[in-house]
Amino acid sequence: MKGFKSFADKVTVDFEPSITGIIGPNGSGKSNISDAIKWVLGEQSAKALRGSKMKDVIFAGSDDRRPKQVAEVTLTLDNKDRELDIDYDQVKIGRKVTKDGKSDYLLNGQRCRLKDIQELLLDTGIGKEAYSIIGQGKVEAVLNEGSADRRRLFEEAAGITKHKQRKEESEEK
């Protein structure tokens, strides 16, 4: 994360296998880390990121720091097992936004569409709507939702979302 919310300078968080716990006082930026992950995975709703405008993710300055012009987040995934259908040991998913509203998604450093990232991550459980991020209230939401909505979660886990989406796309044509 660089220039993202409270992280003015570049901050790297390593997620090792097993559990990573993030602890710190209130307001120290713990939730900003999960916001960064949602954002890089394509979150479009400023409200879901606890802001009012998308540009609110850019470091707004503090008593002793000037505001930043750019926010960027890169999520590096280990792909040695080729779980993602791309022939790289490491996959870097990035997103950048500037104060003047320019916005880019990046895949291994190359500009791409959000759709390219979404397609790559389909059926992996990773994604802003997938189950790799279980936010506050999400467990209740899943338990309370109707069977059609809940089915989406099982389809993602079973790995058939991709095929369903391709089928729908070909039927539209």
Sequence ranges of the binding site for ATP: 25-32
Q: Which does 74 bind (CB under 5 to 8 A by kind): ligand ATP, Mg ion, none?
A: none
Shortest distance in whole angstroms from residue 58 CB to ligand ATP: 6
Which window, 3-11, 23-31, 138-146, 147-155, contacts Mg ion (CB under 5 A)? 23-31
Shortest distance in whole angstroms from residue 12 CB to ligand ATP: 17
Q: Work out whether 31 is an interface residue with Mg ion (CB under 5 A).
A: yes
Shortest distance in whole angstroms from residue 24 CB to Mg ion: 9
Q: Please return the burial class of 98, using the count of CB atoms within 10 Å of its CB with bins 0-12, 13-18 and 19+.
A: middle
Question: How far, CA to CA in Å, does 43 sit from each of 66, 90, 149, 155, 162?
Answer: 26, 22, 19, 21, 19
Is there a contact between 92 and 108 (Cβ–Cβ < 8 Å)? Answer: yes
Tell the residue number behind the tokens 């993202």, with chain if given: 4
Residue number, 101 or 109, with CB nearest to ligand ATP: 101
Give the span between the Cα atoms of 144 and 154, in whole angstroms. Answer: 15
Q: Work out whether 6 is an interface residue with Mg ion (CB under 5 A).
A: no
- What's the CA angle centered on 12, arms 83 and 86, to 5 degrees? 20
Which parts of this chain interact with ligand ATP (CB under 6 A)? 5-6, 24, 26-32, 56, 58-60
